[in-house]
Structure 1
């Protein structure tokens, strides 16, 4: 088992990574004594796929637990879902000595974390991410929240989990589209922080796409190490943590323009390509390195061109309500070399238009 510690003092927590750990979670939670009772929150698909295995693990360890569900998909990530789930918790008599378990992908983790942060003004929660995207990114760091019509994740909190359990074996049943959805976030870490990891991703592409669990565990662990280190240094995104938004400025805008029909990771991939082109256009990122990033994204089967049905004007309208926009000016994370980035709002409207019309 690999254990990575997110160093946040008395709010720090472990990320446990192991093939088959799902069966051992009950015993581990019993030992950690985080709560007297748990409510597992999952979408309808994951509840059917993995809910029984988790509930069996909890029951075998003598851990009291209930399972509640909500409809699958980003369309459920809104305040109405949170209100409905909060009512379910109240009906079950959940109190401050109890805790939630998020079993699922990024949507489930975001909803459950937000619910935990606000139910009875805060109860503990645990993350069990079941998609690659959630395992390498959204389950770590304490960002929670939901969407509103004006934009993605505009209502939320910073609220850290008590523990994160990552079972690499669940990726074997992950649909191909969901694997691709997570790979954009994986590539992101190489571009923003670790050139050696970027090279590793290029060299191990076939093994990763073939779902070699040994290689995937290496990938997941390195991503969690980077995310954990960044979060420990800047939990609330005052400075360093903003580098994790590479690809997310335009990516979120494209995702919103699609009315969230486009998967988050695919939108982030498009955003990373756009960020590389912006950086090259500003003359701060060598053209050959920009091409190398775009090539790796394409090699992993991710699109590199924004669909024609989304106009530049439409995408730019969503930039204005993005959390990364300050005083009406969007901030971009732009690479200066593979492994290093800068955060800047010094990007001209003309350059944005040029990249969006690429």
Structure 2
């Protein structure tokens, strides 16, 4: 990895007291956390566009692995903060800082889905999640203190494609035959018949077409992809064209999954849908799909920033992460199990069974 990079950046001082303002979730304003002064965000009318993937891959760019950390210089206190995020807070005075993404040498975000769920909403969502966890240790309740949760924009790729797939397989058609069999009834051997289903297979081939829109792929490896998938669905249609003001006061991670790797993942998510189309086209009662060759045409992509609250807590020497969808308040994450509660539940079940057996024995 190369050395650190000094970044051009943007900061947003409060017009009332001079402190840094932050984007307030669920609003269209930048709000000062100290004096409460608000600055309205004027709509830009900037559309969200897809970019031609074929043109992009032919352009020179800096691989993400070659990029060093950003160095922000706080315009308020002069301190320097080194980070790989494209927006963060000054580690000394807490002022919000947003990098000029056009100068990073990476793909520039096309869209951002602004936060709607605020800290109070996160606390409520976490309390509901904790209450539904069976055999969770009492210490898990600490995660509901949303003060430790961090509002973070996570980078995601979206891909569009028009696919044409040629398949080869077999179509199975059921038919019935009469089968004779022998069984013993009252010591006598008797011959009987029964209907047995068979399948006759025929070679099949053909072509299916399918258009895909906004196949979503996480562009960061810093957060569990499995848990991110559990936060779906996302209201992507509500995304706005990228503007740095939405990032003020919130951390935003830089993507570390290249677009090519993201497209490979997107293809793997398209594949089951294409196979279902092939099976439907084959018809019959059963289908076998032996091979599929797919052409991906008119591929478009974009980089989006999605809002996620990230909470973490320590239990038995291990750190657990819990994610909250910043738009829908859906919760996903890791949880420990209390051995004491599990043992108590098992013991209680054993005692109940023993009591039932004893009661039955006494009443006999």
User: What TM-score results when the alignment is normalised by the length of structure 2?
Assistant: 0.24
Between Structure 1 and Structure 2, the one with more strand by share is 2
Structure with larger RCO (C-alpha < 8 A, sep 6+): 2
User: What TM-score results when the alignment is normalised by the length of structure 1?
Assistant: 0.24
Between Structure 1 and Structure 2, the one with more helix by share is 1
